[in-house]
């Protein structure tokens, strides 16, 4: 598949391709080995769809990073937001976050793992940079077949099941008084 992708790129980006690799096959073979090792987690169909998407969307020969991003994009399940859309959703949800409606559970989980403080107090360039690898980790697990859900914490009881004894209550009250002296 990597050979076919490179052949597609050679046809579509002819001048750029030969500018990058020349007539010498050594740099081209090294690039193919690098791409093969980096894209092996994606299916053949995903790699081909990503190459077609790049050809349609870009007038420039892609880097490995762009190809990896395209593979990730085309392999995402339907309805899953892009990394930037997920980041913006995580930043704009009201508190308490766990009780909000999320477009997908992994958006909440990635934001939680990134840290609500980071998302609320960092500029987008830093917050998105911190959020991106965590979100992609969840996306990769989702693509691999993992299922995710948001587990809501159990509600606390209105009253304690066992009331404190008078001695214990008095001890806690004296401790609180000592804190304010």
Same domain, 68 and 30: yes
Q: How far apart are CA 96 and CA 152, in angstroms?
A: 11
Q: How far apart are CA 68 and CA 37, in angstroms?
A: 11
User: Where residue 144 falls among pLDDT bands split at 50, 70, 90?
Assistant: confident
Q: Say if residue 156's pLDDT is above 80.
A: no
Residue 51: predicted pLDDT: 94
Please say which residue of 48, 75, 102 terminates a domain. 75
Confirm whether 149 is domain-assigned.
no
Residue 113: predicted pLDDT: 97
Confirm whether 63 is domain-assigned.
yes
Query: Whole-structure pTM over 0.85, yes or no?
Result: no
Q: Say if residue 10's pLDDT is above 80.
A: yes
Q: Say if residue 133's pLDDT is above 90.
A: yes
Task: Report the candidate in 102, 97, 99, 171 with the shortest Cα–Cα distance to residue 138.
Answer: 102
Q: Which two tokens stand for residue 76?
A: 């995402």
The enclosing H or E element of 16 equals helix 14-21
Same domain, 130 and 96: yes
Domains of the chain: total: 2
Which residues contact residue 83 at a Cβ distance below 8 angstroms, ignoring those fewer than 6 apart?
A: 128, 131, 132, 135, 136
Q: Say if residue 159's pLDDT is above 80.
A: no
Give yes or no for a contact between 148 and 140, defined as CB atoms under 8 angstroms apart: no
Confirm whether 158 is domain-assigned.
no
Confirm whether 7 is domain-assigned.
yes
Same domain, 49 and 100: no
Confirm whether 41 is domain-assigned.
yes
Confirm whether 173 is domain-assigned.
no
Least confident of 35-44, 82-91, 123-132, 139-148: 139-148
C-alpha distances out from residue 167 to 5, 59, 86, 99, 174, Å? 78, 79, 53, 39, 11
- List, for residues 14-44, the tens digit of each pLDDT value: 899 989 888 778 889 999 999 999 998 888 9
Same domain, 46 and 105: no
Domain around 118:
83-143
Same domain, 52 and 88: no
């Amino acid at each position: 598949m990597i050979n076919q992708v490179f052949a597609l790129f050679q046809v579509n980006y002819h001048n750029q391709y030969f500018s990058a690799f020349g007539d010498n096959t050594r740099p081209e073979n090294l690039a193919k080995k690098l791409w093969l090792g980096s894209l092996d987690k994606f299916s053949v169909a995903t790699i081909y769809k990503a190459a077609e998407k790049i050809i349609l969307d870009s007038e420039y020969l892609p880097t490995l990073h762009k190809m990896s991003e395209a593979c990730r994009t085309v392999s995402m399940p339907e309805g899953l937001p892009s990394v930037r859309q997920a980041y913006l959703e995580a930043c704009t949800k009201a508190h308490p976050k766990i009780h909000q409606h999320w477009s997908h559970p992994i958006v909440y989980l990635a934001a939680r793992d990134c840290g609500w403080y980071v998302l609320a107090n960092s500029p987008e360039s830093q917050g998105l940079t911190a959020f991106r690898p965590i979100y992609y980790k969840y996306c990769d697990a989702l693509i691999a077949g993992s299922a995710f859900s948001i587990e809501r914490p159990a509600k606390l009881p209105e009253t304690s099941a066992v009331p404190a004894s008078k001695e214990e209550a008095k001890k806690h009250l004296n401790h609180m008084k000592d804190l304010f002296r």
